[in-house]
Every structure is written in structure tokens, then in C-alpha cells.
Amino acid sequence: AKDLEFPPGFKFGAATASYQVEGAWNVSDKGVSIWDKFVHDDPATIVDLSNGDVACDSYHNWERDVEMAAELGLDYYRISLSWPRILPTGFPNKISEDGVNYYNKLIDGLRAKAIEPMITLYHWDLPLPLQELGGWTNPLIADWFEDYARVVYTHFGDRVKLWLTVNEPIVICDATYNSGVSAPGYLSPDIGSYICNKNILLAHAKAWRLYDKEFKPKYNGRVSLANHLLWFEPYSEEYTDLAELALQNSAGRYSHPIFSEAGGWPPGVEEVIAKVCLEKGYPRSTFPSFSKEEIELVKGTYDYYGMNHYTSSSRRGADSLALRRRPRPTREDTLNPEGLRKQMAWLKQQYGDLEIMITENGLPTYDGLNDTTRVDFYKTHLEQVLLSIHEDGVNVTHYTAWTLMDNFEWADGYTIKFGLYEVDFTDPKRTRTPRESAYYYSLHFCSSALLGLSSASDLT
Ligand code: FCB
């Protein structure tokens, strides 16, 4: 990949999510989210007994965040909106002026530095009142989400052109209900997870269609969702079918209904799940079907494919049907950057020549500011992106590093560090310091502005 180059117009960004960085969990009239409740009810569910009450305090430090995005020379910065910060009750009967102001300042601050905001509507911090009505297992949530989306598009649509509805539905539904280690903390493996699966696709579809019909004509932005894609390799040839089934059951369940020509659940998956349900003693399949109208509602609701990628693993057991925990990058993944390329080739083969935006990719490291393992991760993964473009003809146009700065890593609290910038969580100011990987990413991939970063690195 040495001589290959990124095509002109290819864009580089970094991402964060509201609950992981904002803090200010009870400022002004902000509503309580399921994560606020989860961490306060039982602090021991987070490995270091921490929470996101303050986190990076980006609610107060947003100017520094914008400055960092500019230091790196990012083309865009991917953030998420806290639904309960904007709608304290979860419903648009009340819109928080303070919440809207906060995001206006952040969006305008980025745009003033020529950094495009990319915005996710939902990155896991559901308003608690909605959870009390069943959250993602209540089919009405598709309408609630559409109503929230309307408020968001109305307030920010004039300045935001890149949208994601939901971040990682597979984690929201499968991993969460299968493990209980993420909010809302309920275990409902074969039931809640599947109902959530269907409802979240309907919610996405309604929010996409709303934009397409009412906002796209005047604002001309683009909307998709960010799928967490796990790449499964067959352990050996005899496991080829199993690996494919694992792909259909993970990537496929959240992609086929939207991105395939036929729509609906991926071939074979409904049958396999029905069989497993009977084996487990359920009198009928717990996996909800789509009606014909629902298939049509969901099909084609995308402007590009948003892809989060962290792990690639080999499959040789029946466990390929259950996503038990939120997958996290392992050393195996670091050594397997080819998984990223293979996964994009699979997407192209399954759903045709889609525009792909890599909406997250990153690695936790433990080597402090001199994070050579992360540098190596970005180097080897970006090489694979180049090969995808030049060798496989994959139309990938954006690459997003997870994450701009260390933050509250869900059930792992502050023990796991993914940041291009280190954050000092013992310092009330939450001082941020660039790591080697920040210099590397900036110098090699981002625009040459490089403001504050030009002198410090000796990387070549
Ligand atoms: C992804 C999440 C993101 C972050 C990274 C490490 O699954 O979208 O919030 O936790 O993993």
C-alpha cells in the first residue's frame, strides 16, 4: 500500500458520544437518561465504580474540543446529541433552550474552523421516561424517535449535512439485553433483544423518511445509521457456512432490511433463530417478523453505509449466533487489520456498490502519551482502506478515528483509553494532551493546517 494515495475529497474525522464526554448530567433542565440511572443505581456495574457525571466535561470544555479538532486538521467531527438534554421528558412537549444552545455553540464553533459536524441522534442515552414505557421494546418508540428527529432536524438541519440516526443497534439490542452490563441493565436475551432489533430499524426508517421528505429538499444532507460490524473468518474451511451465518446474523440482521434490494430479514436467519427458540423450549419463535408494509418502510432508507469496525475473529462454534457482550478490540484484532478490508468487500458483494463511511475505528492502549501501538493500529488499518479503494474498488469516502479523547468507556469506566488526546481525569479542568497518535494521524492524514501540532512530533 506504500505508493497508494487517498483520492482527493476523501475525508478524515474523529468521533465522540454525548454520555461519554459531556458530563453536566443534571445541569439546567436536562432530563435523566438510562445511563445516568444505571451508573447511579449500582456503581459496581462499572469496573472502576466511576460514571459519566463529569466525564471530559465537554459541556463546559467544548471550545477546547473544537480547538483539538482544528489542531488535528480534521475534516469533520462526529458527535452525538443527548436526547434528554434536548427533550427533558423524552417528548417534544418541552424543548430545552439550554440543550439546544449547547449544541448550537458546538456546531457553530466547529463550522467557524471549517470542521464539518457529523451528528448521531442516538448514542445510547435514552430519556428515562421512555425506558419506563419499555424503551426500544415498545413499538411506539419508532414514532417517539421520529418526533425527536424532527426537533433535531428543525434546529440544526441548516448547518449539519451528515447525519446518523442510531449508533450500533446491535450493541443497543443484542449485546445489552444479552449481558445486562449496559443500560438499561435488563437481561432479555431471546426476547427483548429481538423486539428491539425490529423496533430500532423501524425508528431509523421513520427518521430517515422524515428527513428525506421534509428536510432534504431544503438542506440536502445525508442520513444513515452506524452499524457495528464484526468480521467473522471461518476457522477452517469446514466452518465457512457457519462464518457466513454469523455475518448474516450480526451485520445482516441490521443491514439486509435497509440495504438489500429485497429488504426484510436476511435469508436463513429467521429460520435458524426459530429453530434455536424451539430447542430452548419456547413454544414459538421469539423473533418478530416484518409485515409487507414494514419491509417497504425500512428498505432503501439510507444515503450511505455507516460502518463501525473494531473486531475480526474466527468462528468455529455455535456461539456465532449470540452476541453476548459488547465486542471489544483484542490483540487479535490489532494483528488482523485485513478484517476491515474483507468486511468492506463483503458489504459490496452483499448490497452492491454503496458509498461506505467508516464511522468508527480505534484501539485502546496502555502506553500513555507515547502510544506507538495505536500509531501502528491506524497505520495498518488505513493501509487496508487504501487497498479497499485501489484493489477492490470499494467506494469508501470517510474514515473516523474513535476517539478524539479518552472518555467514559461505558462499563469499563475510565480504565480503557482510546483517545488521540489523553485526558487527565484527576484534574478538575480535564486537561487534554495530544498523544503520538494524534501527531501521526494529523501529519499523515488530516489537512495540513496542523495549527498547534506542527513542532512536537519526530514521527516520519
Ligand atoms: C463502540 C461505541 C463507542 C465506543 C467504542 C470503543 O462500540 O460506539 O461508543 O465505546 O466502541
The ipTM is 0.98
**254 Cα to the center of ligand 1, angstroms:** 17
What pLDDT is recorded for position 118?
A: 99
Amino acid identity for residue 272 in this structure? V
Q: Average pLDDT for residues 78-99, to the nearest whole number?
A: 98
Nearest Cα residue to 85 out of 148, 164, 156: 148
Count CB-CB contacts under 10 A for residue 319: 10
Q: Average pLDDT for residues 6-22, to the nearest whole number?
A: 97
Please give the C-alpha separations between residue 129 and each of 20, 91, 100, 346, in angstroms, as whole numbers. Answer: 21, 9, 20, 39
Q: What are the respective helix, strand and coil percentages of the chain, to the nearest 5?
A: 45, 15, 40
Q: Is 411 in the pocket of ligand 1 (CB under 6 A)?
A: no
What pLDDT is recorded for position 451?
A: 46
C-alpha cell at 110: 466547529
- What residues have CB less than 8 Å from 129, skipping those under 6 apart? 31, 89, 90, 91
For residue 30, pLDDT beyond 50: yes
Using alpha carbons only, give the angle 263, 265, 266 rounded to the nearest 5 degrees.
95
**279 Cα to the center of ligand 1, angstroms:** 33
Lookup result for grid cell 433542565: 29
What pLDDT is recorded for position 385?
A: 97
What's the mean per-residue pLDDT of the chain? Answer: 93
DSSP 13: E
The answer to whether residues 368 and 347 touch, using CB atoms and an 8 Å cutoff, is no
Lowest average pLDDT, out of 109-118, 180-189, 291-300, goes to 180-189
Q: Is 409 in the pocket of ligand 1 (CB under 6 A)?
A: yes
pLDDT category of residue 316 using cuts at 50, 70 and 90: low
146, 168, 294, 422: which is the annotated catalytic residue? 168
What pLDDT is recorded for position 236?
A: 81
For residue 1, pLDDT beyond 80: no
Nearest Cα residue to 67 out of 107, 110, 14, 105: 110
What pLDDT is recorded for position 314?
A: 64
Ligand 1 pocket test: pick from 410, 416, 417, 420 the residue with the most ligand atoms within 8 Å of its Cβ.
410
Kindly give the pairing relationship between strand 162-167 and strand 395-402.
unpaired
71, 233, 294, 360: which is the annotated catalytic residue? 360
Q: Average pLDDT for residues 140-157, to the nearest whole number?
A: 99
Nearest Cα residue to 38 out of 137, 125, 138: 125
What pLDDT is recorded for position 246?
A: 87
Ligand 1 pocket test: pick from 168, 173, 420 the residue with the most ligand atoms within 8 Å of its Cβ.
168
Q: Is 164 in the pocket of ligand 1 (CB under 6 A)?
A: no
Q: Is 171 in the pocket of ligand 1 (CB under 6 A)?
A: yes
Using alpha carbons only, give the angle 15, 202, 190 rounded to the nearest 5 degrees.
90
pTM: 0.95
Calculate what percentage of the chain has a pLDDT beyond 70: 92
What pLDDT is recorded for position 452?
A: 52
Q: What is the C-alpha to C-alpha distance for residues 144 and 123, in angstroms, rounded to an integer?
A: 16
Burial classification of residue 365, based on how many CB atoms lie within 10 Å of its CB (0-12 exposed, 13-18 middle, 19 or more buried):
buried
What pLDDT is recorded for position 372?
A: 95
Residue 116 annotated among the catalytic residues of the structure: no
Residue 261 annotated among the catalytic residues of the structure: no
- Strand partners of residue 314: 233
**175 Cα to the center of ligand 1, angstroms:** 12
